[in-house]
């Protein structure tokens, strides 16, 4: 069964450093998403991406965050200057068309120290 | 997204059917009901979705009331591996996001 692949599975970074989280969505999917989950809290929407542009973003997704689909297969989330409160599981998701369910990746655990 | 209400926790005996309720009394006509589950800290897993008709797939059945104000996810023969947090989400097909609540923690017991 096709999977959404995320790398790395765990990343530790120092506060103020830039991180890039990588995702390979399912190949025929057209809609891409990033969600995050702080330990013990709800899964929160960050951003949706379609046709090479952001279609919706949450209040969490401020100027420190950016997304890119650089080569038609990868989908990345960049955090420019990490803060302690950015520590969370970050999940990439994709879906083939609107209305269908998401397929989520297994996540990247980001720890900011 | 319409607000959904789920019980915080439920238990089910292994091999029995697990019936997980969800209330979405303010759902609008173009909103689907989606169900996902999350096992420990893994990524949420899509289970099933529907608009107004009952739906069944290899994982579960979804029963939506005629007035669409509530639904029930049925796992016909629960196993220990079905222990997870189950999320019910009401969202329109063209919604750019899904809003996850607290879900129902289902514990399947031997």
- Number of helices (H), then strands (E), in chain B: 0, 9
Cβ neighbours for A72, distance < 8 A, ≥ 6 positions apart: none
Determine whether the interchain pair A102/B36 forms a contact, defined as Cβ–Cβ distance below 8 Å: yes
Give the C-alpha distances (Å, rounded to integers) separating A23 from A75, A108, B23: 5, 9, 34
CB atoms within 10 A of CB A30: 14
Determine whether the interchain pair B42/A103 forms a contact, defined as Cβ–Cβ distance below 8 Å: no
Chain A closest-CA separation from residue B74 CA (Å):
18
Comparing alpha-carbon positions, the chain A residue that sits nearest to B100 is A43
CB atoms within 10 A of CB B31: 19
Rounded to the nearest angstrom, the gap between the alpha carbon of residue B2 and the centroid of all alpha carbons in its chain is 14
Evaluate the CA torsion angle A8, A105, B70, B16 in order and state its sign: negative
CB-CB: which of B32, B96, B100 is closest to A99?
A: B32
DSSP label of A41: S
Tens of pLDDT along chain B (110 residues)?
789 999 999 999 999 999 999 999 999 999 999 999 999 889 999 999 999 999 999 999 999 999 999 999 999 999 999 999 999 999 988 887 899 999 999 999 99
């Amino acid at each position: 069964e096709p999977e959404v692949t995320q790398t790395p599975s765990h990343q530790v970074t120092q506060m103020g450093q830039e991180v890039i989280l990588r995702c390979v969505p399912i190949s025929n999917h057209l809609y891409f998403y990033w969600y995050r989950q702080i330990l013990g809290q709800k899964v929160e929407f960050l951003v949706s991406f379609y046709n090479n542009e952001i279609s919706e973003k949450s209040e969490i997704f401020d100027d420190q965050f950016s997304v890119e689909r650089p080569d038609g297969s990868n989908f990345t989330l960049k955090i420019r200057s990490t803060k302690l409160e950015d520590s969370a599981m970050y999940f990439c998701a994709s879906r083939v068309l609107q209305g269908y369910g998401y397929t989520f990746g297994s996540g990247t655990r980001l720890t900011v120290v | 997204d319409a607000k959904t209400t789920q019980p915080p926790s439920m238990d089910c005996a292994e091999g029995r059917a697990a019936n997980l309720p969800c209330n979405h009394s303010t759902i609008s006509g173009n909103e689907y009901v989606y169900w996902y589950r999350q096992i420990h800290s893994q990524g949420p897993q899509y289970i099933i979705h529907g608009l107004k008709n009952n739906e069944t797939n290899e994982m579960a059945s979804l029963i939506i009331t005629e007035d669409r104000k509530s639904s029930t996810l049925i796992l016909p023969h629960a196993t220990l591996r079905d222990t997870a947090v189950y999320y019910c989400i009401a969202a329109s097909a063209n919604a750019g996001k899904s809003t996850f609540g607290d879900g129902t923690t289902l514990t399947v017991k031997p």
